[in-house]
């Protein structure tokens, strides 16, 4: 027999949070999605059950709603979705009018009073005395506490229209047919159990992750430094990561944030601020110190540019800052973009020169490694001979060179770096000429007259700035005696600490000035040759400048030599007032 009443449309949602009225026991399922049921004579179903809240981990009621196949209906369905609570902690109802499952009417199951429910059939007496916790609402029980207004809703009452108490099984047989009754009960029973199991597994995973944060591969951790800190093996070029190309970029593509705790701010630039941080492994007792460069939400382009440069596996070199990974954190205006690199406690070259004077040996090591980093950046071949994209740094200066713990240097801050891709059209380089820090900008960059057709022009601009950085190193070398306080290039020719482009045009282009080469440097053959390298780097004509690789070769030759001081008495100091009385001559190969 076809049902006399059926729904053509039902509310269809999963996991909504109901709102219940304490007095009437009616619960709004909070589902706005309506679906037209496919079958003839379909009904609507709603199931309310306990589940764990993902945020609070507390147990609360949620509701699943939908259509139920009408092929098994052989009796009238109620107009309202009146719930059956034969399973503890779960309420299920069927109804036969459009969208009738938008509201669930809970069974009246109070304890005590003249109309108290009577146990019958398979309803446990304990369940009647201690009914399930009410759904989320304004608090209290979803039914009146004393008695029942409608005895037909009492557990154990026989009714064709309401599936409650011990009559639920018999009523279900009449409603769905004996073959489908067990299927409905199985689905209603198993589904909440599966959901609860999934939620419990998820909660256990979250708890485990909080106690044991995800760690980077152990291969990046080296030996302990004696203070409880562990050095990053990326600095060790004989390490596993360096030897195995497949591991070089292991950390560049993390989907989860690394367990990092920011410590102190160590510097701030135009686009970002650099922090010292701790990268934990396994526990808070074992960590490595890292540098975290944080870009604001409006500086994403700068972050992206530097990230793209760092992400090239071929950029791996001992004299280029080691890159671990890039991350996006936060949202909205609080969104931040992180670049995580190795940390060097000596800081930048500019600060280091302000605190230290250099021996001849230190000068050779620091100058050679700085030049080597730039030469590799400009190269079109990697250390293994494979093809590599040449890169122009475009902001070479002493504050963008870091001093490592072993006294060597590495290039950092690639926010203005440019891939010198020969396949890119000249027009795309049109706005790439006048960038950098004015104090270190080459004449052609100051005038915006860079030859964009010849990509070597960008390398020549870097070499000019390199000459100024080498001069700053020489000015703090103690080999010839008196050493003045650190001063950046052109300090004695400028009135301010932050000269603009127009000021530098006057000094560099119109007056053709360069930092002075003191006469005492010429008394030391090593410093004299280093001065020649510097002058070849900052030549006014870009095409006349030497390359970074040429400068590296010449400094390497100087490192092989040692110089001995000799005293020369001048016969007439008045005729040769600038002639030093002490000269350093090349003695032997080291």
Beta bridge partners of residue 590, listed in sequence order: none
Q: How far apart, in whole angstroms, are the C-alpha atoms of residue 239 and residue 219?
A: 8
147 is in an annotated binding site: no
DSSP state of 387: B
Q: How far apart, in whole angstroms, are the C-alpha atoms of residue 412 and residue 401?
A: 6
SS3 of 242-287? HHCHHHCCCCCCCCCCCCEEEEEEEEECCCEEEEEEEEEECEEEEE
3-state secondary structure of 330: coil
Please choose, from the candidates 382, 388, 221, the residue with its C-alpha nearest in 3D space to the C-alpha of residue 317: 382
Alpha-carbon torsion 335, 341, 342, 343, what sign? Answer: negative
Please choose, from the candidates 64, 67, 68, the residue with its C-alpha nearest in 3D space to the C-alpha of residue 104: 64
- Quickly tell me which residue has 């500086």 as its tokens: 299
210 is in an annotated binding site: no
Structure tokens at 90: 């779960």
Structure tokens at 377: 């950046």
Q: Cβ(338)–Cβ(326) under 8 Å? A: yes
Q: How many C-beta atoms lie closer than 10 Å to residue 38's C-beta?
A: 9
274 is in an annotated binding site: yes
Q: How many C-beta atoms lie closer than 10 Å to residue 513's C-beta?
A: 15
266 is in an annotated binding site: yes
Nearest 5°: CA angle at 313, between 311 and 318? 105
Structure tokens at 55: 């945020």
Q: Concatenated DSSP letters for 508-571?
A: IIIS-------GGGGGBHHHHHHHHHHHHHS-SSGGGSPPHHHHHHHHHHHHTEEEEEEE---S
Q: How far apart, in whole angstroms, are the C-alpha atoms of residue 415 and residue 307?
A: 9
Q: How far apart, in whole angstroms, are the C-alpha atoms of residue 199 and residue 589?
A: 73
- Quickly tell me which residue has 């909205």 as its tokens: 332
269 is in an annotated binding site: yes
Q: How far apart, in whole angstroms, are the C-alpha atoms of residue 123 and residue 348?
A: 77
Q: What values do phi and psi take at 46, rounded to 5?
A: -140, 135
| Exposed e or buried b per residue across 145-155, where buried means at least 16 C-beta atoms within 10 angstroms of its C-beta | eeebeeeebbb
Instruction: Given the residues 80, 235, 395, 539, select the one marked as catalytic.
Output: 395
Catalytic annotation present for 285 = no
Please choose, from the candidates 348, 366, 347, the residue with its C-alpha nearest in 3D space to the C-alpha of residue 358: 366
Distance of CA 458 to the CA centre of its chain: 31
Structure tokens at 420: 């010198």
Exposed, middle or buried, 355 (CB in 10 Å: 0-12/13-18/19+)?
exposed
373 is in an annotated binding site: no
Binding residues: 266-274, 293
- What is the set of active-site residues? 395
Binding residues for ATP: 266-274, 293
């Amino acid at each position: 027999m076809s049902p006399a009443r059926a729904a053509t449309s039902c509310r269809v949602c999963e996991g909504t949070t109901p709102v219940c009225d304490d007095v009437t026991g009616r619960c709004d399922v909070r589902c706005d999605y309506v679906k037209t049921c496919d079958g003839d004579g379909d009904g609507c179903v709603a199931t309310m059950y306990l589940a764990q809240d993902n945020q609070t981990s507390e147990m609360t009621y949620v509701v699943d709603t939908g259509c139920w196949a009408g092929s098994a209906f052989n009796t009238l369905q109620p107009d309202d979705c009146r719930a059956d609570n034969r399973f503890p902690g779960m309420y299920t109802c069927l109804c036969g009018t459009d969208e009738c499952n938008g509201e669930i009417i809970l069974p009246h199951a109070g304890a005590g009073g003249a109309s108290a429910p009577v146990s019958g059939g398979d309803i446990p007496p304990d369940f009647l005395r201690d009914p399930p916790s009410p759904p989320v609402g304004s608090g209290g029980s979803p039914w009146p506490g004393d008695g029942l207004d409608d005895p037909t809703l009492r557990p154990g009452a026989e009714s064709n229209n309401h599936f409650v108490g011990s009559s639920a099984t018999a009523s279900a047989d009449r409603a769905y047919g004996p073959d489908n009754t067990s299927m409905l009960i199985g689905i209603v029973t198993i589904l909440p159990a599966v959901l609860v199991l999934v939620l419990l597994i998820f909660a256990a995973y979250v708890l485990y992750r909080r106690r044991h944060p995800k760690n980077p591969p152990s291969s990046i951790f080296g030996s302990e430094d004696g203070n409880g800190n562990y050095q990053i093996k990326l600095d060790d070029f004989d390490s596993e990561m360096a030897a195995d190309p497949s591991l070089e970029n292991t950390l560049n593509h993390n989907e989860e944030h690394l367990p990092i705790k920011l410590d102190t701010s160590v510097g701030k630039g135009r686009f970002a601020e650099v922090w010292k941080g701790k990268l934990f492994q396994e526990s808070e007792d074992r960590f490595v110190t890292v540098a975290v460069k944080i870009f604001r939400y409006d500086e994403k382009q700068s972050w992206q540019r530097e990230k793209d440069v760092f992400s090239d596996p071929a950029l791996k070199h001992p004299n280029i800052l080691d890159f671990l990974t890039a991350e996006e954190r936060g949202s909205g205006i609080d969104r931040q973009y992180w670049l995580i690199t190795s940390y060097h406690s000596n800081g930048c070259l500019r600060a280091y020169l302000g605190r230290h004077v250099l021996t001849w040996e230190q000068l050779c090591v620091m100058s050679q490694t700085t030049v080597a980093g730039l030469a590799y950046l400009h190269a079109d071949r990697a250390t293994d001979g494979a093809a590599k994209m040449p890169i122009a740094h475009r902001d070479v200066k002493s504050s963008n060179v870091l001093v490592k713990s072993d006294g060597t240097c590495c290039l950092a801050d690639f926010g203005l770096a440019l891939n010198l891709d020969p396949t890119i059209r000249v027009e795309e380089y049109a706005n790439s000429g006048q960038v950098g820090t004015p104090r270190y900008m080459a004449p052609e960059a100051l005038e915006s007259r860079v030859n964009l057709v010849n990509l070597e022009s960008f390398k020549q601009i870097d070499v000019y700035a390199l000459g100024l950085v080498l001069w700053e190193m020489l000015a703090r070398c103690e080999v010839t005696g008196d050493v003045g306080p650190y001063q950046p290039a052109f300090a004695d020719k400028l009135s301010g600490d932050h000269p603009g482009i127009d000021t530098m045009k006057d000094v560099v282009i119109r007056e053709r000035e360069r930092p002075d080469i003191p006469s005492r440097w010429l008394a030391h053959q090593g410093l004299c040759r280093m001065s020649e390298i510097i002058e070849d780097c900052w030549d006014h004509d870009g095409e006349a400048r030497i390359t970074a690789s040429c400068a590296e070769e010449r400094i390497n030759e100087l490192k092989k030599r040692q110089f001995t001081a000799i005293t020369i008495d001048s016969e007439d100091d008045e005729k040769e007032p600038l002639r030093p009385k002490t000269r350093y001559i090349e003695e032997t190969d080291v």
